A and B are shown apart, each in its own frame.
Chain A
Amino acid sequence: MILGFYFILCFFLMIFQTTVLANLPVNAYDLLAPFVVYLAIYQGPRKALPVILFFGLMMDGLSGGIFGVYLTVYLWMYVGVRCAIQFLHVGNTILLPMLIIMGIFFECLVLAFCAVVLSPSTWPAEVVFSVLASQMTWAIFTGPLLVILFLSGQRFVERTRKKMVADANGSRDQ
């Protein structure tokens, strides 16, 4: 059930950012980045990796950029955050938002690196800095909020699942 929730949520985020968010006059960051950080903190590889692999490929298929860059970023971000939480206390109200923001920063930087260095064409430096600055500003203000929303969604799904299991057991006992 939780995997279903993750797939629906990621799909919604992907559609939302390619239709609604893309029409707004802001350089928004990839909304799946905070989701990958959230998965790395709260889910093990068995549940997180299928979601990451599937949506990494989906994003690469949708984007006109270098193929494989989203998959790469998501996998390394997942591994990096998993390593970081081994010595960082993620329950801390300062460290958790910091980790989320760092995760989004990492994605923005890798995407920028791929666009600027690995791509066959050149980007003006002032454009690169302007896009990165805008994305990072948005990340600071909205990244932790998004993770709180994901967490609330997960708790709601788990509560619903428990209730359904309890109802099923109750009806079986009767």
Chain B
Amino acid sequence: MFSKRMVLLVAVTLMIAANIIFLTLSGKNSQTPGALGRGVLILVYPFQKQLTETVQSIKDVWNQYFFLVHTESENRKLKAALGKRTETLNSCIETQLENERLRHLLGFEAVYKSPMTAARVVGQDPSSWSKTVIVDKGAHDGIRKAAPVVIPEGIVGVVVEVAPRNSKVLLLIDSNSAVDAMVQRTRARGIVKGGGSDECTFKYVLRKHEIGVGDTVVSSGLDGVFPKGLRIGRISEIVRLNAGIFQKVAVTPTVDFDILEEVFILSKPAQGELFEPS
């Protein structure tokens, strides 16, 4: 009744449809099945670590020997900068001492709540469309899923997969990332979502809230993942549309994800502020 070609065409169409349905369902979850993800991380990790260390050694040799040409002039500049920094440091020490005295008077003491684990980035995502990195600390080092990952400059991302010796970290700039945030200056709240590229979007900021380009955006601590007060980025663009109740805000992360080498993984879940009164 049907020609062979017709049957083949129908079969291929059905397979493509089934494939798209599978990917759509898989996309809703967007995570690798646990055992497979962990298995791959375990298998790949020693090789990634070795190659990363080799590349790092080559980079170090290059930086230490071949770039010495610029060292002399750089040294002079750095000495001048160091002089200025020493002055600033002195003033900071004075401020810190004064701060400690005042805190003592008020009965407050800054306590850092969450212990951290330092980890090194050993691998990155093979695809340009998702932003994840693999770090060399895992379940044996006390790392747990959904642990926040930070560096002194700000938020890096969150742990999404934990193997015994390594973990996968979803970066802040991945389009699946979201952090509950607020503008440091005005306390206007919203959600920072990864844009896939090097920028993030700050969503759900009400039009009535006054924010400006250059304002620092920090975590609000309300998402239960990131402690309050961690830096996320600076507002780089604001578009106030004629319609709608929200503003369209772009945020440039403070972390440079292209040169990410070492990170800190917070060991305990966020409980309010990063520093809080005892």
**Contact between A18 and B48, CB atoms less than 8 A apart:** yes
Known contacts A61-B36, A62-B40, A68-B26; decide if A111 and B127 are in contact (CB<8 Å): yes
Interface of A is mostly: helix
Chain B residue, CB-CB nearest to A17: B126
CA distance A111 to B196 in the complex (A): 13
Chain A, interface residues (CB within 8 Å), range: 35 or more
**Contact between B125 and A27, CB atoms less than 8 A apart:** no
**Contact between A68 and B47, CB atoms less than 8 A apart:** no
CA distance A23 to B134 in the complex (A): 13
Contact of A64 among B36, B51, B130 (CB under 8 A): B130
Interface of B is mostly: mixed
**Contact between B28 and A120, CB atoms less than 8 A apart:** yes
A51 within 8 A of B: no
In angstroms, how far is the closest chain A Cβ from the Cβ of B10?
16
Contact of A25 among B44, B174, B258 (CB under 8 A): B258
A156 within 8 A of B: no
CA distance A131 to B193 in the complex (A): 20
**Contact between B126 and A14, CB atoms less than 8 A apart:** yes
Which residues of chain B are within 8 angstroms of A53 by Cβ–Cβ distance?
none
Q: Which residues of A contact B (CB under 8 A)?
A: 11, 14-20, 22-23, 25, 27-28, 30, 57-69, 72, 76, 111-112, 114-116, 118-124, 127, 131, 135
Chain B, interface residues (CB within 8 Å), range: 35 or more
For the complex of A and B, 5 pairs with smallest distance between CB atoms: A61-B40, A64-B132, A115-B129, A22-B124, A121-B175
Contact of B23 among A19, A25, A61, A114 (CB under 8 A): A114
Known contacts A20-B51, A115-B196, A127-B197; decide if A61 and B37 are in contact (CB<8 Å): yes
Known contacts A15-B48, A23-B124, A115-B130; decide if A64 and B170 are in contact (CB<8 Å): yes
Contact of A114 among B29, B129, B197 (CB under 8 A): B129
Which residues of chain A are within 8 angstroms of B40 by Cβ–Cβ distance?
57-58, 61-62
Known contacts A22-B123, A61-B41; decide if A121 and B128 are in contact (CB<8 Å): no
In angstroms, how far is the closest chain A Cβ from the Cβ of B138?
15
A15-B44, A18-B48, A119-B175 known, 19 other contacts, Cβ within 8 Å: A16-B51, A22-B124, A27-B128, A28-B128, A30-B126, A57-B36, A58-B40, A62-B125, A64-B30, A64-B132, A64-B160, A67-B31, A67-B33, A68-B23, A76-B19, A111-B127, A119-B27, A120-B176, A123-B175
